[in-house]
Amino acid sequence: MRAEDLLLAWDPLGYGLGSYGPEFDDIALALIHIDTIDELDETIRRILTDAFGDCPTESETRAMAAHLLASSESCHL
């Protein structure tokens, strides 16, 4: 699955699909420059916390970071 599709299907805070447009754009842009799960996890958490004052559990954001990186790597092949 493409990184964009993974993000569009994710509702990390329960606000409803489609509620995270600018935040997901920021995450997609970060994915271009980040290549480790730890760094992407930290970036996802920071983006969501800055925008909403909240973020999902670290295990959830870490799992999403891993999926996004795996998806991104498969696109580069």
Per residue in 27-66, pLDDT (tens digit) is: 999 999 999 999 999 999 999 999 999 999 999 999 999 9
Supply the pLDDT for residue 35: 92
Residue ranges per structural domain of the chain:
3-75
Which fold, 3-75?
A: Endonuclease III; domain 1 (1.10.340)
How far is residue 75's CA from residue 60's CA, in Å, rounded to a whole number?
23
Name the strand (E) or helix (H) holding 34: none
Query: pTM of the prediction?
Result: 0.91
Supply the pLDDT for residue 74: 58
What's the pLDDT band for 75 if we cut at 50, 70, 90? Answer: low
Task: Report the C-alpha dihedral over residues 23, 74, 76, 37, rounded to 10 degrees.
Answer: 50
